[in-house]
Structure 1
Amino acid sequence: MASSTWLISSFFKFSFPTRASQIHCQCNTNSNSSSRGIQRRWVEAFDQSLASPERFTVASYNILADRNASQHTDLYVNVPSRYINWNRRQKILSEELFEWNPDIICLQEVDMYVELSNILVKAGYAGSYKRRTGDTSDGCAMFWKADKFRLLDGESIQYKNIGLRDNVAQLLVFEMSGSDSRRLLVGNIHVLYNPNRGEVKLGQIRFLSSKAQSLSEKWGNAPVILAGDFNSTPESGIYKFLSTSELNIKLYDRKQLSGQKRCRPAQVLGEKKETVGPFSSLDGLLDFWTDEEVKTATGDSECHLAVHPLKLNSSYATVNGSASTRGLNGEPLATSYHSKFLGTVDYLWYSEGIVPTRVLDTVSISDLLREGGLPCKKVGSDHLALLSEFSFSVAHNKSTDITAAAASPRVDIE
């Protein structure tokens, strides 16, 4: 079962933060003073007919754990060592976040939570952290502007408790200040990396979606955003599962389900990527799946259809970008780049009730290649942050009032 413990740092309520908008203005001035390096721009949604005036921004960012950067130096052979140094990366990461000024921040690979929280609390954020189990030292963290959102409820998922490895996820429910009960559920996940374990990836996402649906219903069918590093490409079966709410796993080889194996830089630059889709011949294909693997993926060893209850769209696929930065399905061409990977694995998914009004576009492959790899001068991680501005849909019914017991959640402090 998922853990019901979710952590709120107790010192947040006693801080006297500097307003994030002040830091935002300062960082914008500094970043625009240089024309070199990675440059990103906001792209507006063409159709905003369903957008209301109530808007907020959400960031998703795998910030590269310091321990991972130190232990996997083979991934950064083309990156100057000074760009890998945590003290420098922490400064760059902070500058990136303050420049964009998101209302809600979802971070993955966080192993310096106290240091980051000390910085973000001074900018007016509150935060929650869930560390992975096992011998790893990183986890997922979520921060939100305390003057814009009130935390109503939350749940942390510890996948080890249900036999799905040491990964974790977070689900938090917010109410927007001064918005007459506009509620929002935000999920944050770092899906298992291992490309060969497609069944575990499916199981983790399926469980997260189910928990998100239940928590959303508890709070008047609050709209859902699922952010994170899903360790799956836009051409993969797992992407299809997220975007269509179902996947017939017997049409796929579980070791190819995530699409990661086709994203080595040499493959991406030298060959046309093809969709990892249904096989042309189904004879013997189920030999790739044991009963236990089928059960992990779908929840039932006799059922080959994996389903999840949410109807999700990707904010980047919805808001059209430049042909130089987007693939055929509208997703970024790359959100991560190092010596052994060049492709997209990060997403901001959203449900009915909200619509994306703009996104911070990524960069072209040629711009990434000029850097030689990530991190670089202006990017503090081997991933690019995703940012989307959302609006509550004018067609979405406002959330109903919840009973006093639910409206006054317990805040556990570990």
Structure 2
Amino acid sequence: MASSAAPRARLSPPAPAVRPPRKRGRSPPSTRSTSSWRASAEHVAPRDQISRWRAPERAPDRVWRQFRPPQSALPTSRRWVSSEGASTSSSGDACTIMSYNILADYHARNHPDLYRDVPWDAMRWDSRRRLIIHEIRHWDPDLVCLQEVDRFQDIAAGMKSRGYEGIYQRRTGDTRDGCAMFWKSKRLRLLEEDSIDFSEFNLRNNVAQICVFELNGTHKLVLGNIHVLFNPKRGDVKLGQIRLLLEKANALAEKWDEIPIVLAGDFNSTPDVCFYFLLTHMILNISLHDRRKLSGLDSSEFDLYELCSSLKYQWSDEEVRNATGYSNVMVAEHPLKLSSSYANLKGNSSNRGLHAEPLATSFHKKFLGTVDYLWYTHGLECSRVLDTFPIGVLRRTRGLPTREIGSDHLPIIAEFAFTESVEDDFEEEDDSEQDNGSEQEVSTTQHAYLSTDDESR
């Protein structure tokens, strides 16, 4: 074989020194860049794992890692907005309360379509957990109300080292998340703990927490924490959940000698709809509204649901009972005179909208708007709030989370000062006499904010 191979080699023409490039040939492997599409250089995976990664805990879903342009970074700080006319009768004791929907890891992994523009490493729970804990520690609130908590022990471990104690209420059924409260044990003492499992009232499986705290051994307050059902088509259920929270919080406040109340949470309702009217005016005639249009989350702009808005929806007896508590009563009422902490301390046009509420507390691929609130009653005075980011800054990120914010919601924080108990009962009666004409204004301004977003999307 060797002797025959040599002559054939000699008869062959000599190979050219430089091989001419083929017309459709690929570039040499050495010139290819493998780092341009990666979120960071430290995350290097074998070729068969580059295009995707499997979620932890053997989750059935997969989050696809495709090329995603870099996100615009958010500012490293937010500014406080203080009250200019704070009462001089304040007792001097004050506490800060944070409300934060931290985006359950379970939901993040099962809804990748909402976070297509978010770098894959910013979606990882270990990264988000670190950012969430850092955010809480940085603002150092006295009380923390969290929603969408499905890894309570991870959060609790990070909070314990900063002197916080915590409690957790998980939703029932197949869901994995729930609500959690944390408080500084050196300043606050938990006097009574209660919760609401809405499935016991046939109002889905959401939960709420209601607790009584004592601050510095002197002042007491009721703190409620809720994550209202998202489903835009079930306004009756959403209204029923809010109604029960208000009733339970009021009963607990009366039990402890009319102490003030703070209600925190993700209410899954925008400021331009009738839920907001109910919270601020204490009364709502549901016959004036389509139950599928109650929360402001049903805008076709985001293609969440295909809903018909040409005709008023007829409420069934069951839906009326869910909303008001009685199948033959079309008016929902509650006994609390509530104020919104952010609405009372006005910001500027870059981040405040209808009713002076923030333009956005949540942002993902299918929603940009405000659903998170901190409400309070008499006996408290809101002295300052942590303002949200300007709407233009948020839009440039193309969605949350980011490498600076660990959730698709922004934490909201308000500082409350305890005041001398001065309450004019006759004023409360006057406010409860709101006519339905004002309510009609709510129906005509539905989606005022959501519809204007279309220009920038």
TM-score (norm 1): 0.81
2:231 to 183, 187, 194: 194
Q: Tell me the equivalent position of 1:343.
A: 369
Secondary structure at the residue paired with 1:329?
helix
Whether 2:253 is the aligned partner of 1:227: answer no
Paired amino acid for 2:162: A
Q: Tell me the equivalent position of 2:287.
A: 250
Contact preservation (8 Å) 2:351, 2:359 = yes
Percent identical residues: 51
Compute the displacement of 1:178 (Å): 3.9
Which one has more relative contact order, counting CA pairs under 8 Å at least 6 apart?
A: 1
Q: Tell me the equivalent position of 1:40.
A: 78
> Which string of whole-angstrom CA distances, capped at 9 and with x for unpartnered residues, describes residues 348-401 of structure 1?
00011101000000011110111111001211100000100000113459xxxx
Compute the displacement of 1:262 (Å): 2.9
1:183 to 204, 211, 220: 220
Secondary structure at the residue paired with 1:201?
helix
Q: Tell me the equivalent position of 2:278.
A: 241
Partner Cα separation in structure 1 for residue 74 and residue 291 of structure 2: 38
Backbone CA RMSD of aligned residues: 1.9
Partner Cα separation in structure 2 for residue 190 and residue 93 of structure 1: 18
Q: Single out whichever of 292-301 and 62-71 deviates more from structure 2.
A: 292-301
> Which string of whole-angstrom CA distances, capped at 9 and with x for unpartnered residues, describes residues 235-294 of structure 1?
011111111111100000000000112385699xxxxxxxxxxx9x9xx84x52111101
Q: Tell me the equivalent position of 1:353.
A: 379
Contact preservation (8 Å) 1:263, 1:343 = no
- Structure 1 396/118 Cα, relative in aligned 2: closer, same or farther at 3 Å? farther
Task: Write the mapping of 1:141-152 to structure 2, written as runs, cut at 5 A.
Answer: 141-152=180-191
> Which string of whole-angstrom CA distances, capped at 9 and with x for unpartnered residues, describes residues 89-128 of structure 1?
0000011101100000000000000111111011101111
Q: Tell me the equivalent position of 1:320.
A: 346
1:389 to 410, 415, 419: 415
Secondary structure at the residue paired with 1:105?
strand
Following superposition, which runs of at least 4 residues in structure 1 exceed 6 angstroms of deviation? none
Partner Cα separation in structure 1 for residue 143 and residue 270 of structure 2: 24
Paired amino acid for 1:327: G
Paired amino acid for 2:268: N
Q: Tell me the equivalent position of 1:204.
A: 241
Whether 2:325 is the aligned partner of 1:299: answer yes
Partner Cα separation in structure 1 for residue 341 and residue 180 of structure 2: 21
Paired positions, count? 346
Secondary structure at the residue paired with 1:82?
helix
1:99 to 138, 149, 155: 138
- Structure 1 332/82 Cα, relative in aligned 2: closer, same or farther at 3 Å? same
Larger Rg: 2
Compute the displacement of 1:320 (Å): 1.1
1:139 to 160, 178, 200: 178
What are structure 2's unaligned runs of at least 5 residues?
Answer: 1-71, 424-457
Partner Cα separation in structure 2 for residue 92 and residue 358 of structure 1: 24
Q: Tell me the equivalent position of 1:31.
A: none
Partner Cα separation in structure 2 for residue 94 and residue 373 of structure 1: 20
Paired amino acid for 1:297: A
Whether 2:125 is the aligned partner of 1:86: answer yes
Paired amino acid for 1:135: D
Partner Cα separation in structure 2 for residue 184 and residue 263 of structure 1: 41
Paired amino acid for 1:51: S
Whether 2:135 is the aligned partner of 1:109: answer no
TM-score (norm 2): 0.73
Contact preservation (8 Å) 1:40, 1:360 = yes
Partner Cα separation in structure 1 for residue 278 and residue 271 of structure 2: 11
Paired amino acid for 1:104: L
Paired amino acid for 2:294: L
Q: Tell me the equivalent position of 2:400.
A: 374
Whether 2:152 is the aligned partner of 1:126: answer no
Partner Cα separation in structure 2 for residue 262 and residue 240 of structure 1: 19
Paired amino acid for 1:231: N
Partner Cα separation in structure 1 for residue 324 and residue 315 of structure 2: 12
Contact preservation (8 Å) 2:99, 2:373 = yes
- Structure 1 199/265 Cα, relative in aligned 2: closer, same or farther at 3 Å? closer
